[in-house]
Each structure stands twice: as C-alpha cells, then as structure tokens.
Amino acid sequence: MAKVRTRYAPSPTGHLHIGNARTALFSYLFARKNGGDFIIRIEDTDTERNVPGGEYSQMAGLKWLGLDWDESIDKGGPYGPYRCMERLDIYKKYVDKLLAEGKAYKSYSTPEELEKERQEQLARGQAPKYSGWDRDLTPEQQAKLEAEGRVPSIRFRVPEGRIISFEDAVRGEVKFESDGIGDFVIMRPDGRPTYNFACVIDDALMEITHVIRGEEHISNTPRQILIYEALGFQPPQFAHIPLILNQEGKKMSKRDESIVQFIDQYKELGYLPESLVNFMALLGWAPEGEEEIFTLEELCQIFSLERISKAPAIFDTGKLKWMNNHYIKKASLERIVDLAIPYFEQAGLITLPLSEEKKNWITRVVALYQEQLDQVSSIVELSEIFFRQEVEYSEEGKQVLAEEHVPAVLGSFLAKLEEVEEFNPDQIKTVFKKVQKETGYKGKQLFMPIRVAVTGEVHGPDLRETLSLIGLETVKQRLQKLVDNKE
C-alpha cells in the first residue's frame, strides 16, 4: 500500500475561507490518521485573480488553526515546485504528448464566439456544450486561422459514448456520460493550463493518493479521469465532501452577511482556533460516539472518510458560539487575558504597556467574565461597568433604589467603609456583615441596593470582587452622592 498523500490546493485569491479551511482540515486529518503526508499546492493559474499576499494569508490561517504540512512553497519537498505557475514546462510536456497522440487539438474559437455559442444554446434550452467545429481541422485550415491572427488554445478531445464512473469515498459509485461533456480547454493560448488539467498532472506527479475536496468539484471529476486515462496515470481515490450551507439552507456566498466566513475574522473576534477546528470537523462529518468535543490530536485519531455525510452541512452559528464559550472556559485565565488586552486597548480603555498593577487589575476583571464569554472581543462590552466614569442607573436599578430601606443600607455601608484598611473581597465581606447586623437587612435587600448604587445595574458578577475592583474611592463617591440626594 502506497503511503497516503493528501493535498490542499487553494488559489491565492484571498483570505482563508471557512469552507476551504474545512477541506484542508479533512485532508490534513485523513493524512495524519493514516500516517501520511499533507501537501499544500498553490493553484495560481488564474493569474488575474491572484492577489498579492494570498498565499501567505492562506498558510497563516492554517497555521493559526494548528495545521502543519509536509511539503509546500515555504518548505519545499521532493515533488516541487508547489506553485502551478512554476510548473508550466511540465504541463507543456504533457499537452504536447496529448496533441501528438490526437487526444487533444488546437482550438480556434475566441472568447467572444464561445460566449455567443453558449448564449444561443441556452436560449434554445440546450445544455451548453462546445460544438467541436475545429476538432478535425487539416494543418492547412489551422494555418489559415492562425494567419488571421488567431492563437489556439488546446482542447481535450472527449470520447463519445463513454460512461465514466468512479468510486467516491463519500458517495459511492458516481457515473457520468461522456456525451454530456464538451471538449474542454486544457491549456490557454498563452501556455497556462486550466484547473482541470493542472490538477491532474500535479496530483499524479505528486503521487497524491486521496483527493478530498468540495462537492462542487464532483462534475469536474469525469473530465479529470479522462485525462488520467489519456496519460496513463492511475487516478487517486476521490472523496467529495458536502457543501456548507447558511442557516437559510443556501450556499454561502462571499457577500452573505449572516455568517462570518473567513478564518482571520474569527481570529479578530476572539475565537479560539481549537473551537473552530472542532466545529469545522463536525461540518459534514460525525464521530462514532456521543462525544463531540475533540482536540486536533483526537480528531487525527478518529477521523474517517466513511463517516462523512452526503447531505449538505448547515452552518449553525449558535453552536459555534457555544463551542467557543466552552473552549474559553477551559482555557487558562492568562491566555484569555492576553487575548483580551488588545480589545481594551483598541477601545481606548487602557494604554500599553500595562503596569504590573494594571495588569493584575485587568486580569481580575477578565476572570469575572471568562465563564460567559463566547468571543473574547465581547469582554469590552461585558466589563463596561469597570470603565465608566459616571454611573448610569438602569430602569430596574432606579426601582431598586426607590425602595424604602435603601437609604439605611447605603448610609450604614458608607459609614462602615471608613474603617476599612484594605479594600479587598474579604474585608468587604466583613463590612457586609457589620451592615447586616446594624440594619437588620440581609440577602437581596442588603446586596441589591449596594450593587445598584455602585454599578447602576441589578445584574452583574460577584459583588465583593466588583466593589474591590472599582476601588474604594469611587465606591464611596457614588454612595455619597446618593446619600446626599436623599437628604
């Protein structure tokens, strides 16, 4: 059995999309599960769409997710180069071979003519398919067309009347009739191969054993198989994974606002890579048991092609949030604090570098909210009360403050605060006890007025810690103001 080799072959047209990331993940998991190699190859033959930095961005995204690879443009490998545009001479060699054997031919239609032909077929209700008018031109005819200034592209001659079938690891046997496939371009006039051609040559030469890719490629597969056959290559095992749909059941489009679609956006929002990995693994794949929380390492152990679903996967954003919260709770406080600091800084709430004291303070604030954070960026909004200069009393808060016993509690609390030496949670606890003894109020009646008086809100994290973090002076000021108003 040959060593398993899988690849992720992005075109460097932009940032790492969640769908591509999941394809890469599946390919990675399958390779690791089987002790194989994972390769990244850059499909940059559509030179007009390539964006500068696209390659780096793709790889940075994968790296952030925790995926690594064995061969690629950054580290080389025995099957390079790993960028299609650096393999042009290789493609040419195989095109020449097909040409010589009559399995491909020079085609002279211009893009304008093709588009016109296409539109006409569509208008007639026909399936668009290349006419093949220039399939069997004589050298003289070709010379004449070239004299007109036409530069030929190379088309693959699709055999007639064939049934092309292959065994897909996800879908089982898949069949296509060759008659539904028109002769397709494998090399553009300028010598750049098209995807279907480059993909076959590269996968074959790089000895890729398993091609795991999105379902949208399923209809490309018969074309590619034809090329494998024409060149005498052994096709790999194919596995077409289901598409990811948004919550309306529609294919995610780049413009779709309902879902955050790019990996670096998740990073910016404060998602943890392990939650994204876990979540993506469950997009179209299901583990055997009931457990659904897995580390990357665990996934490498249990992943299998057999358990990939045929039905499209729906992107459940609520579930992702829940999962991210799960991992945030599991993470160390220190890690979450480090992630949180930039958000505070961007919001203008703190300035860097942080003093030791301020860092400790921030750490305590973050600790208060760690268990309810579903994305780290939310920390700014959640912890708002610790950064406000003035208290703003909510409607519910005002109602609490209007209660009869409130002045007594507040007055007593304020007075007892004078005796405090260090304003820490323990000391505050003893102050509470004293106030309780003096006023006779306890529980909700005791704590709620104090909470509202200092924070303006009826809800919030642990009161003692909250007071301690807001600081003695501010607490006294706020209480004093209320006590004064009452009098």
Edge to edge, the sheet with strand 172-177 lists 37-40, 5-8, 210-214, 237-241, 163-168, 172-177
Three-state DSSP class for residue 81? coil
Asked if 180 interacts with RNA (CB under 7 A), we say yes
The one catalytic residue in 63, 254, 267, 330 is 254
Instruction: Scan residues 245-264 and list those touching RNA (CB under 7 A).
Output: 245, 247, 249-251
Tokens representing 281 are: 């693994």
Asked if 282 interacts with RNA (CB under 7 A), we say yes
Three-state DSSP class for residue 438? helix
Stretch near RNA under the rule CB under 7 A, chosen from 88-96, 168-176, 352-360, 407-415: 168-176
- Which residue from 229, 316, 345, 438 is in contact with RNA, where contact means CB under 7 A? 316
Q: How many residues does the chain have?
A: 487
CB of 6 to RNA, least distance (A): 16
Asked if 344 interacts with RNA (CB under 7 A), we say no
Asked if 52 interacts with RNA (CB under 7 A), we say no
Instruction: Scan residues 431-470 and list those touching RNA (CB under 7 A).
Output: 443-444, 447-448, 451, 458-464
Asked if 292 interacts with RNA (CB under 7 A), we say yes
Establish whether 444 is an annotated binding residue.
no
Stretch near RNA under the rule CB under 7 A, chosen from 23-31, 176-184, 398-406, 471-479: 176-184
Amino acid letter at 271? Y
Asked if 330 interacts with RNA (CB under 7 A), we say no
Asked if 129 interacts with RNA (CB under 7 A), we say yes
C-alpha dist (Å) from residue 95 to 42, 119, 159, 189: 20, 29, 17, 12
CB of 128 to RNA, least distance (A): 4
CB of 196 to RNA, least distance (A): 7
Asked if 219 interacts with RNA (CB under 7 A), we say yes
Asked if 125 interacts with RNA (CB under 7 A), we say yes
Asked if 14 interacts with RNA (CB under 7 A), we say no
Of the pair 251, 437, the CB lying nearest RNA is at 251
Distance CA 198, CA 209 (A): 16
Asked if 171 interacts with RNA (CB under 7 A), we say yes
Asked if 149 interacts with RNA (CB under 7 A), we say no
Structure-token match 């071979």, residue found = 97
Of the pair 83, 359, the CB lying nearest RNA is at 83
C-alpha dist (Å) from residue 175 to 158, 210, 241, 279, 454: 15, 19, 17, 32, 71
Q: Which pairs count as long-range contacts for 473-482, CB under 8 Å and 24+ apart, including other chains?
A: 475/417, 475/423, 476/414, 476/417, 478/391, 478/453, 478/454, 479/410, 479/413, 479/414, 479/417, 479/453, 479/454, 480/414, 482/401, 482/410, 482/453
- Which residue from 371, 392, 403, 419 is in contact with RNA, where contact means CB under 7 A? 371
Distance CA 448, CA 445 (A): 6
Structure-token match 């610790």, residue found = 386
Of 80, 67, 89, nearest in space to 207 by CA: 80
CB of 366 to RNA, least distance (A): 13
Total residues at interface with RNA (CB under 7 A) = 80
First to last CA, the chain: 88
Of the pair 66, 287, the CB lying nearest RNA is at 287
User: Is 254 one of the annotated active-site residues of the chain?
Assistant: yes
CB of 417 to RNA, least distance (A): 17
Stretch near RNA under the rule CB under 7 A, chosen from 65-73, 157-165, 240-248, 353-361: 240-248
Structure-token match 């079938």, residue found = 165
Distance CA 27, CA 285 (A): 13
CB of 22 to RNA, least distance (A): 12
Binding residues for ATP, as ranges, are 254
Binding residues, as ranges, are 254
Q: Which residues are known catalytic residues?
A: 254
